[in-house]
Chain A
């Protein structure tokens, strides 16, 4: 016999299905939710439903938006640089820094035959078409450092063979403000490989 009501168990299972949430944290969150005033919980549930109903991927760049087209695609028409990222949330650090004023393209994942994810699932044909149609001059690949991210970057590079678009990728190396003494070997290796002339 379970001590917890069935509906509470179902709520715990929902929380446990979220990334980075284990069974214990899921239980803590579920119990916390139940101790909140009913109005707070209704607002929370309302926001959840609202987000699901209104937020969708932008048809041009696949970043999440609640408009027909995301504000970046709408406002930066004519930009000649495009940054390719894995997740919608990867756009935020670029925008916060204000360093990049171009367009984005969100892949949603990286290539992995083990997970059945290939170029088709990442809309790579759409990316290539957009580059041609919009006369993109530089494509910045801002993907991770895993072998799968490398496969994805190489695949994009291959699909753009013969095109004049400049392909670049973000530098890898020592984070700002960190002490060299504490930099791990692999980061140091990448930083050394990517050293630049003074």
Chain B
């Protein structure tokens, strides 16, 4: 149910890569319908996914893709697998950062979307070049695609740097409340293009553009041999450090859980500030927390004053009373 709400609000599933994965084993299609309200709007949304394709509607009008749902009423999911935000592959952290980046503005979302599209086109060119020793449009098109990638990549890099700087103290604040400690968590952007910047503060976009262009120029031969773009924002990572040590390798299970929850609350703050108060979806997160952390999360959830949907197998163990209960059975 949480996934259905998330899908109708955010336009993508937090679990499945392909919407067809959401169709039940013995069914041909999946249909979701939902109505959402805020003070001034009402959205009646429907999504139909089947073998014939996907149909997306909002207030009766067709939309091109489910991702068109994004950007009106946000949702933030918290789930036990969020520990992957700390322990998992860089892709998980990039996805988290990019989601927040899209909460911040539609222009950011457009940069991200275009960067991914140009990257796909450039990778296809490189794949074909690796296979045939030549590719559509020849060297000229490769240079055009590289130029576009540099332009969009530098923009995306700059947006992510600014964002990671903005959310680092927010994460620290939540982490301290959750762990009851005084540790400072830093959220540093780790670029695959340049490891460190000598100047303090965020370098301007032109500097980033030059650095990215230089990096790709240096990698050109290898990229043509490997058939893939080897550096850029799509290879970057975030380093979550506590007291100077990267939590990914040295953080305890409890520290990592607290940091992951802190990251989700940071997403709630960014969404509330730049877009709208999100719907908070809590997927059985209390079972894995000790009493202190559970109470701290409950207090934060209450403070946020969002609509909250909680999925739990043990209703009586929730640290607060729900306004209404929905029981699901097979």
Q: A22-B53, A111-B137, A151-B121 are in contact. Are A189 and B107 (CB under 8 A)?
A: yes
Stretch in B140-148, B182-190, B197-205, B257-265 touching the partner: B140-148
Contact of A118 with B114 in the complex, beta carbons under 8 Å: no
Contact with A along B227-248 (1 / 0, CB 8 A): 0000000000000000000000
Contact of B117 with A113 in the complex, beta carbons under 8 Å: no
Chain A contacts for B124, CB-based, 8 A: 113-114
Q: What is the interface size of chain A, counting residues whose CB is below 8 A from a CB of the partner?
A: 24
Contacting residues of chain A (145-161) with chain B, CB-CB under 8 angstroms: 146-148, 150-151, 154-155, 158-159
Contact of B121 with A114 in the complex, beta carbons under 8 Å: yes
Contacting residues of chain B (48-67) with chain A, CB-CB under 8 angstroms: 52-53, 55
The listed residue (B106, B121, B143) touching A158 by CB distance below 8 A is B143
Residue A74, interface by CB 8 Å: no
Contact with A along B114-142 (1 / 0, CB 8 A): 10011011101100100000011110110
Contact with B along A131-156 (1 / 0, CB 8 A): 00000000000000011101100110
Contact of A113 with B110 in the complex, beta carbons under 8 Å: no
In the bound assembly, the distance between CA atoms of A38 and B330 in angstroms comes to 55
Contact of A147 with B110 in the complex, beta carbons under 8 Å: no
The listed residue (B107, B118, B148) touching A185 by CB distance below 8 A is B107
Contact with A along B64-108 (1 / 0, CB 8 A): 000000000000000000000000000000000000000001110
Residue A173, interface by CB 8 Å: no
In the bound assembly, the distance between CA atoms of A189 and B140 in angstroms comes to 30
Contact of B140 with A186 in the complex, beta carbons under 8 Å: no
Closest chain A CB from B97 CB (angstroms): 20
In the bound assembly, the distance between CA atoms of A114 and B107 in angstroms comes to 25
Contact of A119 with B143 in the complex, beta carbons under 8 Å: no
Q: Which residue in chain B gives the minimum CB-CB distance to A124?
A: B137
Contact of B107 with A118 in the complex, beta carbons under 8 Å: no
Contact of B141 with A118 in the complex, beta carbons under 8 Å: yes
Contact of A186 with B145 in the complex, beta carbons under 8 Å: no
Residue A126, interface by CB 8 Å: no
In the bound assembly, the distance between CA atoms of A64 and B270 in angstroms comes to 51
In the bound assembly, the distance between CA atoms of A185 and B110 in angstroms comes to 10
Chain A contacts for B118, CB-based, 8 A: 147, 151
Chain A contacts for B106, CB-based, 8 A: 184-186
Contact of A158 with B53 in the complex, beta carbons under 8 Å: no
The listed residue (A114, A158, A186, A189) touching B144 by CB distance below 8 A is A158
Contact of A118 with B136 in the complex, beta carbons under 8 Å: yes
Q: Which residue in chain A gives the minimum CB-CB distance to B144?
A: A154
In the bound assembly, the distance between CA atoms of A120 and B120 in angstroms comes to 20
Contact of B136 with A186 in the complex, beta carbons under 8 Å: no
Residue A19, interface by CB 8 Å: no
In the complex, besides A158-B144, A186-B106, 14 extra interface pairs with C-beta distance below 8 angstroms are A113-B121, A113-B124, A113-B128, A113-B141, A114-B121, A120-B136, A147-B114, A147-B148, A148-B117, A151-B145, A154-B144, A154-B148, A185-B105, A186-B107
Show 12 residue pairs from A and B whose CB-CB distance is below 8 angstroms, ordered by the A residue.
A113-B141, A120-B137, A147-B117, A147-B148, A150-B148, A151-B141, A151-B148, A154-B148, A185-B105, A185-B107, A186-B106, A186-B107
